Structure 1
């Protein structure tokens, strides 16, 4: 009976895949919806690759998962992946896609991005060999409640056989080692690290062991850094994989092995370090890792760069209703040395469908980083553009720099290219399609510059 239900689910999902293709509908996760409706145990009943790797955490999941997929494909492995569809329906759809009508799956490694909020459901259906937890920060209040809530969800549902790859510089997520075998990675002190918090936000200020105040030796961003308890022996875990970074040379040295950085941001340095740490744990030699990571790039849905007529456009993800994600990007912009124009598309798409008046995250986010002389113009679009303008004014930004417009599609027309030749478009994660159209319109205007001169 179990086999009959499984094959009924598989064939139903395959027919759904074909129908979606015929009608030109791009809903890659939907076959997974059908498969699980027919057989709720579809994921558990399916054949699986011999190596199963999961990636979860607040930020960086998609980038790390994509890097791992690219690496294994580059070395000739057959990869099964949920392609960023990180709920259980996406997991099921990845099995449908790579399983033939006889129930045989073609794949050497299964790489799954796991939504941290949905991790309990997925962990109950998939036994991971390795799990990378990139970090844990506060996220959307409406969806994720509090970072401790997410920590406990992961802790409660982890399979004890799963080996964890954890960021030793994140004292929240690295504390998951109490329940599983783990290895850690870390980045040595940087000259940009601070001796005190620049941000208003810090998700952990008191020791989880004894409740006394934590003391930071240095802060990288938010609660990432080197820390110890003022009373007991609680402190950062000792890392097996330690990196030193030279942004001027665009390189990261991990345990004396040299790799090229994929971008000049600390966040992607951590992403790369997590990938390399996992590959070392899998006993891949340095030469093979180096070769497999050649020409590695961040997914263009997360970060992209275009240059036209000596004008540069950077397209950067900044999650809506996620004060940490926005603040880290704002800080990155402040540290970039050239004059710039910043476009903000931060309205949460889901919030537009099911609206909430909860805008407290805007006041958590460090808009103060945008109060910078090198930022010549800030253009804000979307239904909440006036809320963002008020927050920018509270942050001390000169009102003459701020332009607001309710329709994001009209934002490109407000750019004054005489003020700067570097444009940054920051967009919310679920607004990719709209943001891409805005990006293309900006590029079109960039191409017209010489025509007008």
Structure 2
């Protein structure tokens, strides 16, 4: 490292640590973004200079859904193997957040002591950070439409990813979702070491392709794909009748790994973390024991005990995510009804916000199959900044006026939560489906403390 770069790095680190101390001391936030934003103005090469010090390499995790759960699962496996891991666990996944996470683990002169760095990366900035990070492993989870006011279509994003990954060294490991046609095609075009994960469990096929489907046309020739079955959104078993493009062979057998948490989407997260851990040299005994004892990250199928009631928070921030949480909730509620037909169902609380972390365009709720939740019946409570948008969507989901749904609208979130808890019978589970900023509010109300 040249002298000038070293001096600038030292100044950037000192400034970042001072800003972090000030922000946290004044309780202005978690300081997960601002230190990195200021530090990179002092040292523009900050991301490169810090990441190159990671002894065994950077693990970059990208995708629309599942980054936090997969990252936490993989991190736990690596740490149990005895390695020191840096991780942007606060969820700040833009450039300044990545820098802040690395800075927090350096000494005052900018030396970083870590075996691995797990960095969750916003799908839109992947092409910008690949060159400075030079990751050892890239984990591509999925691509769905998300925050329509910010991002383009999934085909555009996957094409940009492929173009940015292509110049990386041949020994770079790419772990990609074979059930996602856009990512499968991208992986097949790369010269690096590409490994695919996915499901081989037809019993989990959906009855029909959901409305929230993004990529059902062949990424090679544009012909509509033929699906033998769909697991969620456009993810499934497919082939192109025109050019022969098809789901690639899997490097991991899905049936050999148990389901963690609630929801089929978490099976994908499990497989992604397992395959990545195997490539990085984690012992299989550690992998299996970690899965068996894994606890959800905040807001991602997280379970709490509040006032003697069982609460499960299921982050729902885009059409695919909410469809899958509805699917999971319906499975649980259906099982409870079968156990005792006379049992009162716990309500479901849906909280819709339109702040910057959520995306300001909430038109995506009309792509959600809320009809499947409404037809189950019971009480649905809605709240959040866009409470009436959510209420209207649910009302339009009613097949007829005498639907079994009881819709309760509460503008005040605290009142909504109190009502939901009050109406939740003992031994039942209150499911809360919030968008991202709403999830942070819900957790603060339930636990009495902030996350960020």
> Which range, TM-score by smaller chain?
0.7 to 0.9
TM-score, L = length of structure 1: 0.86
CA distance in 1, matches of 2:305, 2:38: 43
> Aligned equivalents of 1:92 and 1:54: distance in 2?
13
Q: Is residue 2:443 matched to residue 1:436? A: yes
Write out per-residue CA displacement over residues 422-445 of structure 1, whole angstroms, 9 at most, x where no aligned residue: 31111111233311144359xxxx
Name structure 1 gaps, 5 residues minimum: 245-252, 255-259, 442-453
Q: 1:273: Cα distance to partner?
A: 0.8
- Secondary structure at 1:100 match in 2: coil
Cα distance between partner residues in 2 of 1:195 and 1:327:
14
Cα deviation per residue 1:245-289 (whole Å; 9 max; x = unaligned)? xxxxxxxx14xxxxx533132111111111111122224342243
Secondary structure (helix, strand or coil) at the match of 1:414 reads: helix
Q: Does 1:328 align with 2:314?
A: no
Q: Determine if contact 1:313/1:422 at 8 Å carries over to the other structure.
A: yes
Q: Secondary structure at the match of 2:19?
A: helix
Q: Which residue is equivalent to 1:24? A: 27
* Contact kept in structure 2, 1:334 and 1:372, CA below 8 Å: no
Q: CA deviation at 1:231?
A: 2.2
Is 1:55 aligned with 2:58?
A: no
Cα separation, 1, equivalents of 2:72 and 2:285: 21
Between the two proteins, the alignment pairs up a number of residues equal to 421
Larger proportion of strand: 1
What's the counterpart of residue 192 of structure 1? 204
Deviations 1:216-242 (A, max 9, x none): 101111111101112221110111112
Change in 2 beyond 3 A, CA 1:308/1:347:
closer
Across the aligned residues of Structure 1 and Structure 2, the Cα RMSD in angstroms comes to: 2.4
Q: Tell me how far apart the structure 2 counterparts of residues 5 and 419 of structure 1 sit (CA, whole Å).
A: 60
**Partner residue of 2:415?**
410
Judged with a 3 Å threshold, the aligned counterparts in structure 2 of structure 1 residues 200 and 279 are, in CA distance, closer, same or farther, namely same
Cα 1:204–1:32 change in 2 (3 A) is same
- Give the whole-Å Cα distance in 2 for the aligned partners of 1:74 and 1:219: 35
Give the CA deviation at 1:72: 1.6
Seen in structure 2, the aligned counterparts of structure 1 residues 435 and 308 have a Cα distance that, compared at 3 Å, is closer
Instruction: Tell me if the contact between 2:24 and 2:31 (Cα under 8 Å) persists in the aligned partners.
Output: no
Give the distance between the partners of 2:203 and 2:291, measured in 1 at CA. Answer: 27
Q: State the shift of 1:304 in Å.
A: 1.7
Instruction: Please state whether the residue corresponding to 2:203 is helix, strand or coil.
Output: coil
Shift of 1:14: 2.1
| 1:195 and 1:216 in contact (8 A); partners too | no
1:130 is matched with which residue: 122, 132, 137? 137
